Structure 1
Amino acid sequence: MPEFDLAFSSSLTDDAGAFKLLELPPDLCKLIEARLEASDPLRLCIKGHSGDDAVLCTDENTYSIRSVALSNSVLVVTPSDTDTVVISDQVNEILELTPAVPKLQKLTTLCENPPEEEEEASDAEIARGLRDQRILDVHGALRPIAPAFLSSILESILNLLVSQSMSPQSVPAEELAATLADESEISRTVSSQVMAWFGEVSSDGKWKMDIGLGILRQYKGQLLKKWKSAVGDTFENSVSLPLLSGNYLASSDMQLTYFPCSASPVDPTSRFTDLFLTRPRWKADEIVPFLSDIAVSTKERDKLLLKYGRATTDSQGVWYTKK
């Protein structure tokens, strides 16, 4: 077994704390290994507002960072030209990463006050947040779109599809954007983003429409009848309650009331307080959609239900009440 002499680095005092050990969760470890094999660099970024806990972000996901003390110290050593190993630093903790829900609740405030620090979310999660909260990027400036204006755009799109006999599954995106600009004075910058919010544009420039909730955001009362009226006879058969999951409450006689998950508090304690003030008793399949944005997985969601709710079962299934 080889033997080495140990020596302390001449800059040990100055370099103390310069090294950190990071424990990678399995999914992130596999991603890094795959990107290394493909010679495709992976960007890792640590973000955090002053006073908040820092998070680590990839292009797609966000991870919380937690410091865990090590029972045994770990020495950071480097070889030298001789048979001497130089001790450069001592590590007494490990940084543990766990998947985290991105903090996107401040996006709407960015429209008026650009931040000095980055949002605590990955680029992909920020993009999804801007889409879900209907915030436009107009020449680099963030602008929330008024619900009434958005509904007007969507209704104009539906009317054009009907009048020009376009298939909602294969709409020429450029042609639609040009027509909206000419006939309705809706800029291409706006219409292109609205199309991305409510469907997908393929590489050949065809838009596959998926308009569900968007038309209904301006309505605060009962929804189903207004929804069918707004989309017209041509699209009435496309009306489906699953499209509204997490955005409505249904009464015993199936009257629907607009109740968007996005308007609820993001803190789990406040979210459950809000939900149980709205309804003291929830069926399991009704409360689950209102937790999707505060839990990173079904396992974490079930943990939240166990922590804040009390489950009971009857002939109608599982119900949750406040614990």
Structure 2
Amino acid sequence: MPEFDLAFSASLTEETGHFKLLELPTEICALVENSLTPLRFSVKGQSSEDAVLCTPDDKTYTIRSVVLSNNILVVTSDPENDAAVVVRDQLTEILELTPTLPKLEKLTALLRGRDLDDVADNADGEPEPGISYEDAKSLIQASDGELASTLRKRRILDIRGKLRPIAPSYLTTILETILNHIVAQGLKPEAVPASELSATLADENEISVAVSMQVMTWFGNLNDGVWVLDVPAVHEPLTREELLRRWKLAVGDTFEASVALDLLSGNYLETASTGLFSADTLTYFPSSALPVEPASRFADLFLTRQRWRAEDISPFLSDIALNNKERDKLLLKYTRTTTDSGGQVYYTKR
């Protein structure tokens, strides 16, 4: 068994606390081992926030310290003596990574009041004050993949170098205009010439190319100048007052067969009829507008309704729970279950 001379570094006092030992989860180890190119991980978090580690694609991990029962020495070889090692530091803790949801609540605050809501506001021009995509990447505790997915889901545009949410009513107008052009020009939804369509929208409807091209990427695939329309995705009522009848009317006869209520999961509340001749009603209620912190999320949900059925509340928890198991843990922590005379189970405030 080889033997080595052990010595303490001359700069041990200065180096103490400079080293950290990070334990990698199995999935990150596999990512590192199987990657053919160098990987770049980022640690995000300001002084008032818990640090997170973000992978290059779509994972975010909370970093937490775990105290060790035994100290670990950090040693390096001695460049002047091959038979010696130098003690550089001693560690009493390791850093552990735990999968977590991206922390997106700051994005809402940063973009508040920046909605793009009419034709006059979307023309090309000089850069304006606001937050850029690069700013968001550094400030928001989420991986690049998670941030890009969130910007898409929340319908946030990059206009003149700044991020701007699009007002639901204006997006509805753009979608209706696009669908009308597709039908009027006899275009095939699976092969729409994107440049021609965006130029037509700019000339005839004053919708800038920058806006229409980004909207197209939200509702289909854009490759080599050809837009493949995702018909189910485009059927999305975005105003508070839209009901199913108006939704079908808005998309027209050509597309109304693809209208389905389950496409709106997590974006509406259904109120059952209360009279002999009254009908069920839908109210716009997007989960993206609710707080991300679980306690606040449940508080808002129970301010909206005093009791929830499992199938009604679940869509509003999918974006704060990694999986069904985590969702059930949240329900156990923040709710009580009650059963009515008919055997229906409800969740109520704890």
Aligned with residue 255 of structure 1, among 281, 296, 314: 281
Number of aligned positions between the proteins:
319
Matched, 1:156 2:183: no
| Letter aligned with residue 301 of structure 1 | R
SS in 1 for 2:252: helix
Matched, 1:11 2:11: yes
SS in 1 for 2:308: strand
> Is the CA contact (8 Å cut-off) linking 1:224 and 1:255 kept in structure 2?
no
Distance 1:31 1:204 in 2: 33
> Is the CA contact (8 Å cut-off) linking 2:235 and 2:251 kept in structure 1?
no
> Is the CA contact (8 Å cut-off) linking 1:68 and 1:96 kept in structure 2?
yes
Normalized against structure 1, the TM-score is what? 0.91
> Is the CA contact (8 Å cut-off) linking 2:6 and 2:87 kept in structure 1?
yes
> Is the CA contact (8 Å cut-off) linking 1:76 and 1:87 kept in structure 2?
yes
Q: Cα distance 1:118–1:154, how it changes in 2: closer, same or farther (>3 A)? A: same
Aligned with residue 73 of structure 2, among 75, 80, 86: 75
**C-alpha deviation, 1:79, in angstroms:** 1.9
**C-alpha deviation, 1:282, in angstroms:** 1.6
**C-alpha deviation, 1:280, in angstroms:** 1.9
Structure 2: gaps (5+ residues): 112-128, 274-279
Matched, 1:107 2:107: yes
Partner of 1:275: 301
**C-alpha deviation, 1:159, in angstroms:** 0.3
Aligned with residue 53 of structure 2, among 39, 53, 56: 56
Distance 2:234 2:70 in 1: 55
> Is the CA contact (8 Å cut-off) linking 2:232 and 2:258 kept in structure 1?
no
Partner of 2:152: 131
Distance 1:300 1:312 in 2: 21
Q: Cα distance 1:203–1:113, how it changes in 2: closer, same or farther (>3 A)? A: closer
Distance 1:22 1:128 in 2: 28
Distance 1:24 1:298 in 2: 24
Distance 1:79 1:118 in 2: 39
Normalized against structure 2, the TM-score is what? 0.84
Partner of 2:244: 224
| Letter aligned with residue 55 of structure 2 | T
Distance 2:52 2:244 in 1: 41
**C-alpha deviation, 1:179, in angstroms:** 1.9
Distance 1:109 1:125 in 2: 18
Distance 1:140 1:96 in 2: 37
SS in 2 for 1:166: coil
SS in 1 for 2:40: coil
Q: Cα distance 1:222–1:63, how it changes in 2: closer, same or farther (>3 A)? A: same
| Letter aligned with residue 60 of structure 2 | T
Distance 1:125 1:155 in 2: 29
Distance 2:18 2:106 in 1: 32
**CA deviation map 1:284-310 (0-9, x unaligned):** 122111011111222222211121122
| Letter aligned with residue 234 of structure 1 | T
Partner of 1:46: 43
Deviates more, 1:221-230 or 1:145-154: 221-230
Matched, 1:241 2:238: no
> Is the CA contact (8 Å cut-off) linking 2:60 and 2:101 kept in structure 1?
yes
**CA deviation map 1:156-214 (0-9, x unaligned):** 01101111222323322222222212221211111111111122223563323246477
**CA deviation map 1:213-246 (0-9, x unaligned):** 775222x235212211211222111110111000
Q: Cα distance 1:51–1:65, how it changes in 2: closer, same or farther (>3 A)? A: same
| Letter aligned with residue 277 of structure 1 | L
Matched, 1:181 2:207: no
Distance 2:235 2:258 in 1: 14
Matched, 1:265 2:291: yes
Percent identity over paired residues: 58
Matched, 1:90 2:111: no
Distance 2:349 2:48 in 1: 31
**C-alpha deviation, 1:90, in angstroms:** 0.8
